[in-house]
Amino acid sequence: MAEPAGGTGISAGRRVAPWSLMILAILWGSTFFSIKRVLTVLPVTDFLAVRFLISTLLLVAVFHRHLKMRREVWLRGTLLGVLWATAQLLQTAGLARTSAALSGFVTGLYVVFTPILGLLLFRLRVSRWVWVAVGLATAGLAALTLRPAAGLIGAGELLTIGCAIVYGLHIAVLGRWSNPRDAAGLTLAQAFAMTVVFIVAALPGGITLPPTGIDWAWMAYLAVPCGAVALLVQTWAQGHLDASKAAVIMCSEPLWATFFAILFGGERPNWLFAVGAAAILAAMYLVIRPPGQSRETSLSLPTPTPAQPRH
């Protein structure tokens, strides 16, 4: 991880990383309508296979020089890509057996699992303000997604809990392994692994392509800014930011999805949206600038000791 610039300040990367992840969450939130449209003409596995094949080809075209990466980076990226793809498939399987609202809430619980897994696997301590942010984010997710008639825990919910755990594991491990120097290579390796998993999942029934130009345009939007660029930004940003803090920021995706549904989908805001939005925005504020700390030190992280390197 890059050292802070100067004695008390923080590096430009650490300043930019949380805002990059927030933009990423906004992008993911904006995909609701486009994914909904594409999934009316493509099976889920076919959609994922085509989307990430495009993302991977673009990443290779731009970062082909990074294909000659260290074996360690290839192995780590492959494992991370398999984790992410597994979480996607678990989420899809769970969504077929539960409501979209409950699926959104349970998936967002990776914000809880990330610091727990970081503590269990890497003994990473989390400050009290990050735990407060995790609690606020979870409450905000509940207000945005849950409804009284959501139902009890069944097979769909269990699959989605598995999805949230795997997402949390991906974020925790990526936070441990990512660094600015290897961001491009680690992104390429993840993209390759994701694409292979999705193509293998889609092959039994044959892979269907988008039928119209408009569908291809939506696919390009999902594959380029919301796929290739998003994966690169997350990998780079987590080289500068603690995994638990990254999870809090990224779990704001349902907030932005609801915002776009209100803005473009004709949905009406209610008091639950206001409560959920306030809780999630407060959580992100605590992550970006904890109380009692100056702007210069609010994002700083302890420097790993030689005996236990971060990466």
Give me the pLDDT at residue 3, please. Answer: 40
d(CA 61, CA 56): 9
Number of CB atoms found within 10 A of residue 275's CB: 15
Whether 64 shows a pLDDT value over 60: the answer reads: yes
d(CA 100, CA 146): 10
Tell the residue number behind the tokens 């500068």, with chain if given.
240
The proportion of the chain whose per-residue pLDDT surpasses 90, expressed as a percent, equals 57
pTM: 0.84
Give me the pLDDT at residue 146, please. Answer: 78
User: What total number of domains does the chain contain?
Assistant: 1
What mean pLDDT, rounded, does the chain reach?
85
Region 43-56 average pLDDT: 94
Residue 99 domain-assigned (yes or no): yes
Number of CB atoms found within 10 A of residue 234's CB: 24
Residue 297 domain-assigned (yes or no): no
Residue 296 domain-assigned (yes or no): no
Residue 224 domain-assigned (yes or no): yes
Residue 5 domain-assigned (yes or no): no
Does the CA dihedral 206-207-211-215 come out positive or negative? positive
Range of the domain at 151: 21-288
Whether 83 shows a pLDDT value over 70: the answer reads: yes
| More reliable by pLDDT, 192 or 28 | 192
Lowest mean pLDDT among 56-70, 143-157, 234-248, 295-309: 295-309
Task: Find, among 3, 25, 242, the residue nearest to 130 by Cα.
Answer: 242
Residue 299 domain-assigned (yes or no): no
Q: For residue 44, what pLDDT band results from cuts at 50, 70 and 90? A: confident
Number of CB atoms found within 10 A of residue 204's CB: 7
Q: What is the CA 3 to chain-centroid distance, rounded?
A: 25
Contact between 137 and 283 (Cβ < 8 Å): yes
Give me the pLDDT at residue 223, please. Answer: 95
| More reliable by pLDDT, 37 or 240 | 240
Lowest mean pLDDT among 5-9, 189-193, 213-217: 5-9
Residue 50 domain-assigned (yes or no): yes
Residue 34 domain-assigned (yes or no): yes
